Chain A
């Protein structure tokens, strides 16, 4: 499929609703899943960069291209999704069905791909990882299920002449990649700082559509939710409590100074 140059783009930003990192987290020992309560759910902070990139692309194109938010989450997360609309996205689609519960990253990517195909897309944007699971695997899996090129870790993104071009961050430097649309790109935190939702945005978001798609609305050909998961969490242990620190004060005099020097040397910091 070649996308003509003058066509308006359907930019779809896939986002995740995650527990607020400031909130207390609790894991249900039975299901080994995080206990999620609506009150403490927020937009995955990494995804805000993808939303920002989508909005900037839309503004640059200024040709009626649109930004659609998609998330697989229970409907109780609607107000969180509305925040993305308040930032300026045009509409949102929630993929909500009890059958989706228990999905791992692969099952999630599969359902998201089905939802995104149903919405129709030219460019899919994601964050690089989520603050709760931190696997960083979803962008790759999603590109795979969508059958489109996946350009990951983009710190810059441009669209022209039916192609997407990104500046990709690596450990050693940058790569410039380009691919034909449709495609997927994951956006890093060093792209633009996400905008604040404005009062105008909040008021406008009230009138924007948040559609809900259920399992039956999607073309799904394999097991989803817990049954479709490839990963199984076999054990969960709390991370060990951090050992008490050592305090050195001026009163320790030279001995204190020697302690600090020894400490730094031990860690090859001196």
Chain B
């Protein structure tokens, strides 16, 4: 099994030349970023390769163990977590006021990619700290900020997100966990399931952020509030006090990410867990939606990261494995399989889509920074809209594409891919979760079509399509590859515009039809927006080459972008067909007709 090597050069390229690091460095507080970015990339990659990667496979094999309410993480996880925390990585995007380093969200792109590429089971932990920090920073009281944030930033304590319940998964409006006022706090009771790192041995305290309902809360989404429920109550002086009434009733056996525990948490079995309201009553889901952008972006990056890790392994294997003579060669000897055109196609398919995902997700991350910090309100608004539209695309498209690419990586390994010891099988199992948690792909597509397209009356989508068109029109045709990419991209954007219009039209008459192909529509967005970024990359590369730049990276980028245009952007044709011609057949079969194929036909 190969060790993880971060794609540092491509990360640098995307940060500087596509995501506009120089513009981010003009935002207040980010002036020093360019000075430290290379050191951060280098050190994060060392940490990922030397600390996180070695416990990736062992964490998968050993898994977590549950006993009497306690959970033990795999060997080395606790130590790695302490090292990670001590180095200050949790606080990367957190403001210095709270003990963080105050760096742009943009840098979460490469760093999250490295943590998750090296060890996704581990990387979920620090991500949850960042989520909890963001929630409290955004809506907590000063006292809550003071009590919890510094310890979550330093990593002394860990965080969780407790949303899901047996009857409330995709639809959080169905949350039933109760919160009853009791003096200056609330008594929480109910059951949460599937809680990542809900209980473990990596830190002395766990700060649960819990969605629950007040007794008088209205039905549905507007009746849910957010609470802080510490595993161990915190005394006024900050020291740890009594154990709170939250109990881990068990952990799941699951397909992948075995390095971390997925827990069932029972609140209030002994009369009620003490919880503290965050922000105002009944606004919990609203707060969650504000945080959702960062969390969903991170999940998309997780997909990209695992796919890149799988691609790396597949590439190494393809260079080593000798099998079959070359189809166009004279030698009868077995060649490394990388010589075979079909293996090449698989590798290019992975490489090109990974680079497109990286480009699109980092560009989206830069918009998170611009939306938050740009001095001009109009620019902030424009980036905010871009982000709102792009987040479900980054989350949904990256996670679905990554899942396909991990399958492709297994395919490159042939039979060895199916055998656990190569490690590629783990990637294949691990990656599947990213299209499920933080909102399934179906839910991302619902968000894209329902909230971001229909409710917005297509305003943002139209603006981004216009922006892409302008970008495509500016592509310089003097380079043959760029010219070919330009023509592919231009027609793909037109198809996206048509599909958007089709869905918009149906929204007025037939909602089922409008939503039937919401996932293909989301993928179409991903394919086209990814193609847009690859076209920009191609243009930049062609210009460098024309100017005499001999860095072979640019030549490779240009070829990769051309491959993407021909093999991936071309998917826009069938995605468009699926949406426009295929929407009607999705709901055509009656529910009872699904079972007709299982009934033995009895002829008299």
A residues near B (Cβ < 8 Å) are 79, 82-83, 86, 196-203, 205-206
Contacts and interface: CB of A to CB of B under 8 A. Distances in A.
B588 interface: no
Given A83-B39, A203-B101, A206-B36, A196 B46 contact: yes
14 contacts: A82-B39, A86-B39, A86-B43, A197-B43, A198-B86, A198-B87, A199-B101, A200-B101, A201-B88, A202-B40, A203-B36, A203-B88, A206-B32, A206-B36
Contacts of A200: 87-88, 101
A205 B354 CA distance: 33
A252 B458 CA distance: 71
Pick the most buried of B36, B83, B89: most chain A CB atoms within 10 A of its CB.
B36
A201 B83 CA distance: 13
A22 to B, nearest CB: 12
B92 interface: yes
Given A200-B87, A200-B88, 18 more contacts: A79-B38, A79-B39, A86-B39, A196-B46, A196-B47, A196-B51, A196-B83, A197-B39, A198-B86, A198-B87, A199-B43, A199-B44, A199-B89, A199-B101, A200-B101, A206-B32, A206-B35, A206-B36
A83 B41 CA distance: 12
A201 B88 CA distance: 9
A82 B101 CA distance: 18
Given A203-B101, A206-B32, A196 B39 contact: no
Contacts of A206: 32, 35-36
A228 B35 CA distance: 37
Contacts of B32: 206
B43 A198 contact: yes
Contacts of B83: 196
* Those 3 A-B pairs whose CB atoms lie nearest each other, nearest first: A198-B87, A200-B88, A199-B88
Interface in B69-93: 83, 86-89, 91-92
A196 B87 contact: yes
Nearest to B44: A199
Pick the most buried of B46, B47, B88, B91: most chain A CB atoms within 10 A of its CB.
B88
A199 B32 CA distance: 14
Interface in B1-57: 32, 35-36, 38-40, 43-44, 46-47, 50-51
B88 to A, nearest CB: 4
Pick the most buried of A79, A86, A203: most chain B CB atoms within 10 A of its CB.
A203
A202 B36 contact: yes
A206 B92 CA distance: 15
Nearest to A42: B42
A200 B91 CA distance: 9
Contacts of B47: 196
Contacts of B91: 199
Contacts of A86: 39, 43
